């Protein structure tokens, strides 16, 4: 592996510097639809938004109420943010007296059954997605599934991989590029606690989310639960965690091993899931299968290697066939103070951080290493802002603040290269903003959420609803005629595409499901 400094020197050359303008990123941002009283919506996905099954940019996740906005692959953070802004504005133009909840932790829930499971029509593909979500309900309950987040999809240009490979005397074929992305992922797992500290924005939750469940959170006001130093309850064992998966270790040391370990989990039967059964007494499916994972996407991870495959191809099939195309970062909270949940400096920091992870040496991760990484992550999730919090680095301890500053300082030279390539200082500015959060934890989003709750005396649901109403006002400025027509046409086309799928299916769902599941 060429050293980090060697690669920086190569990137400094005038012929190579433009490569830093060619990174690709895409955003998937979730947000619950809620009433003007802050209660989860019970209405179907607005028809004016098109088909949640086939629309390329506005769909749903677990719940019929859980909107998901998806940008295309974008050449800059500015373009990605602008696209999200337009998508939100179009959504508001089609929503009647509802808001998009601007927090990762849910709005007011009125019991588990108040969370409607997403419906995608009668096509086999639509039924597959619906049954998968029923399986999540029976396995983990509905409340966990209505947590929202932001996924950051990221890739380096092939020419940059060629530069890295040349510095190592290797050929930048797909095998090398896949190994490079796994190197990035291993470093991401070592340092993802830093992202949780800097951008975690869910230290509190409405008590309705945990109704009837045991927890160790403190009470604030009457209906708000929180942890004093928490950064992201979304990433805690209250959020996207899975007890059945707790012993599952998926290896990122090689692509073959990743496919093998995750593939095994899809085929291992679990007695508790066998007890649930496949169908109810009416013949309705309750889950896709009774294995540890119904499909690959059920594995809860803060980062995933990805490849876009043809329709119907399983994710592991795509990776096995053609290798890693990009990575998906899944640990980002929705920032309630921002209209679309994320801003440009955040994206630019992500670009620098992920590129830095790719350029640095990244030894394989042992099982012991994996346990230490999980401990660091969970310590940051629940106590990231506690003064003097110590994390584990190799066989020693180091304070979160000292280690975080050390990492950001090491990224500065790379951020400077980014700014030289783009002819502005936004990347360095972003790093300085994040460095200040390490010096002063009150600048973090999680601290600002708690401060607002305490200063205003408002419940989590009240404060977040106030933010939602402000954002709705900000995002209700009418779109231009041409843009509105484009998005209306996109919605109509998606409805036509869904109808075509439904009309052209020629297999009973039972046979379709069997053939889907038996493919390796």
List the domain range (segments joined by +) for residue 371. 4-235+298-518
pLDDT digits (tens, 9 = 90+) for 132-178: 999 999 999 999 999 999 999 999 999 999 999 999 999 999 999 99
Mean pLDDT for the chain? 95
Taking the C-alpha atoms of residue 328 and residue 22, their distance in angstroms, rounded to an integer, is 18
Q: Radius of gyration over alpha carbons of the chain, in Å?
A: 23
The answer to whether 498 and 51 have CB atoms below 8 angstroms apart is yes
268 in a domain, yes or no?
A: no
User: Which pairs with CB-CB distance under 8 Å and at least 24 residues apart come from 451-460?
Assistant: 453/204, 453/220, 453/221, 453/224, 453/226, 454/220, 457/221, 458/221, 459/206, 459/221, 459/222, 459/223, 459/224, 460/103, 460/105, 460/204, 460/205, 460/206, 460/220, 460/223, 460/224, 460/225, 460/226
The answer to whether 497 and 54 have CB atoms below 8 angstroms apart is yes
- CA dist list (Å): 17 to 79, 159, 345, 412, 425: 21, 11, 21, 16, 15
Taking the C-alpha atoms of residue 327 and residue 307, their distance in angstroms, rounded to an integer, is 8
More confident residue, 380 or 1: 380
498 in a domain, yes or no?
A: yes
What's the confidence (pLDDT) of residue 245? Answer: 66
157 in a domain, yes or no?
A: yes
Residue 427 CB: number of other CB atoms within 10 A?
Answer: 26
| Least confident range of 366-370, 446-450, 505-509 | 366-370
What's the confidence (pLDDT) of residue 210? Answer: 94
35 in a domain, yes or no?
A: yes
What's the confidence (pLDDT) of residue 281? Answer: 92
Rounded average pLDDT over 252-259 = 94
What's the confidence (pLDDT) of residue 430? Answer: 98
CATH at 37: 3.30.590.20
What's the confidence (pLDDT) of residue 242? Answer: 54
Q: pLDDT band for 1, please (50, 70, 90 cuts).
A: low
263 in a domain, yes or no?
A: no
Q: pLDDT band for 519, please (50, 70, 90 cuts).
A: confident
Give the closest residue to 505 by CA, choosing from 294, 298, 311, 278.
311
User: Is pLDDT at 446 greater than 80 in this prediction?
Assistant: yes
51 three-class SS: coil
Q: At what angle do helices 77-93 and 344-359 cross, to 10 degrees?
A: 140
User: Is pLDDT at 82 greater than 80 in this prediction?
Assistant: yes
- Token reading at 69: 């906005």
Q: pLDDT band for 265, please (50, 70, 90 cuts).
A: confident
pLDDT digits (tens, 9 = 90+) for 327-371: 999 999 999 999 999 999 999 999 999 999 999 999 999 988 999
212 in a domain, yes or no?
A: yes
247 in a domain, yes or no?
A: no
Give the closest residue to 23 by CA, choosing from 77, 85, 81.
77
- Into how many domains does the chain fold? 1
What's the confidence (pLDDT) of residue 171? Answer: 95
pLDDT digits (tens, 9 = 90+) for 91-130: 999 998 999 999 999 999 999 999 999 999 999 999 999 9
What's the confidence (pLDDT) of residue 240? Answer: 56
The answer to whether 377 and 192 have CB atoms below 8 angstroms apart is yes
Taking the C-alpha atoms of residue 334 and residue 105, their distance in angstroms, rounded to an integer, is 9
What's the confidence (pLDDT) of residue 247? Answer: 64
The answer to whether 516 and 129 have CB atoms below 8 angstroms apart is no
258 in a domain, yes or no?
A: no
pLDDT digits (tens, 9 = 90+) for 58-81: 999 999 999 999 999 999 999 999
393 three-class SS: strand
Give me the sign of the Cα torsion angle 50, 55, 57, 61: positive
pLDDT digits (tens, 9 = 90+) for 182-209: 999 999 999 999 999 999 999 999 999 9
Please report, rounded to a whole number, the percentage of residues in the chain having pLDDT higher than 70. 98
Residue 113 CB: number of other CB atoms within 10 A?
Answer: 9
Q: pLDDT band for 431, please (50, 70, 90 cuts).
A: very high
What's the confidence (pLDDT) of residue 241? Answer: 53
More confident residue, 265 or 397: 397
Residue 154 CB: number of other CB atoms within 10 A?
Answer: 25
Q: What is the 3-state secondary structure (H, E, C) of 117-150?
A: ECCCCCCHHHHHHHHHHHHHHHHHCCHHHHCCCE
Segment holding 439, helix H or strand E: helix 426-439
Rounded average pLDDT over 421-436 = 96
Q: pLDDT band for 407, please (50, 70, 90 cuts).
A: very high
């Amino acid at each position: 592996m060429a050293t980090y400094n060697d690669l920086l020197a190569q990137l400094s050359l005038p012929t190579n510097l433009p490569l830093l303008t060619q990174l690709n990123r895409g955003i998937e941002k979730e947000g619950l639809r809620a009433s003007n009283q802050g209660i989860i919506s019970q209405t179907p996905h607005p028809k004016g938004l098109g088909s949640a099954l086939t629309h390329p940019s506005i769909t749903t996740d677990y719940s019929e109420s859980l909107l998901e906005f998806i940008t295309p692959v974008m050449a800059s953070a500015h373009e990605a943010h602008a696209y999200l802004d337009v998508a939100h504005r179009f959504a508001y133009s089609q929503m009647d007296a509802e808001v998009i909840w601007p927090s990762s932790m849910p709005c007011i829930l009125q019991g588990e059954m108040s969370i409607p499971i997403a419906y995608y029509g009668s096509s086999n593909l639509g039924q597959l997605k619906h049954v998968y979500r029923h399986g999540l309900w029976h396995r983990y309950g509905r409340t966990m599934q209505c947590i929202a987040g932001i996924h950051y999809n990221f890739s380096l240009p092939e020419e940059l991989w060629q530069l890295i490979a040349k510095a190592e005397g290797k050929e930048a074929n797909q095998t090398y590029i896949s190994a490079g992305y796994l190197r990035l992922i291993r470093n991401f797992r070592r340092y993802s606690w830093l992202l949780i500290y800097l951008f975690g924005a869910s230290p509190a939750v409405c008590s309705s989310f945990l109704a009837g469940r045991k927890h160790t959170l403190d009470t604030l006001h009457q209906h708000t639960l929180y942890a004093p130093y928490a950064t992201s309850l979304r990433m805690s064992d209250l959020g996207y965690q899975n007890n059945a998966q707790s012993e599952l270790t998926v290896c990122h040391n090689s692509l073959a091993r990743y496919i093998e370990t995750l593939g095994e989990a899809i085929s291992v039967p679990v007695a508790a899931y066998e007890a649930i059964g496949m169908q109810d007494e009416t013949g309705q499916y309750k889950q896709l299968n009774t294995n540890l994972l119904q499909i690959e996407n059920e594995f809860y991870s803060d980062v995933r290697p990805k490849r876009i495959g043809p329709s119907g191809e399983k994710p592991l099939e795509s990776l096995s066939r053609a290798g890693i195309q990009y990575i998906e970062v899944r640990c980002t909270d929705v920032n309630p103070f921002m209209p679309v949940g994320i801003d440009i400096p955040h994206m630019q920091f992500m670009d620098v951080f992920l590129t830095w992870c790719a350029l640095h040496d990244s030894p394989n991760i042992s099982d012991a290493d994996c346990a230490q990484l999980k401990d660091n992550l969970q310590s940051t999730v629940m106590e990231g802002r506690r003064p003097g919090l110590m994390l584990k680095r190799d066989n020693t301890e180091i304070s979160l603040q000292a280690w975080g500053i050390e990492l950001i300082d090491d990224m500065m030279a790379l951020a400077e290269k980014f700014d030289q390539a783009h002819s502005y200082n936004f990347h360095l500015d972003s790093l300085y903003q994040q460095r200040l959060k390490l010096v002063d934890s009150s600048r973090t989003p999680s601290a600002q959420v708690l401060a607002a709750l305490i200063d205003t005396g408002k419940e989590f649901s009240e404060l977040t609803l106030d933010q939602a109403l402000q954002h709705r006002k900000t995002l209700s400025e009418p779109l231009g005629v041409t843009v509105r027509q484009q998005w209306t046409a996109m919605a109509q086309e998606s409805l036509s595409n869904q109808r075509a799928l439904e009309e052209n299916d020629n297999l009973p769902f039972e046979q379709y499901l069997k053939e889907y599941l038996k493919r390796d």
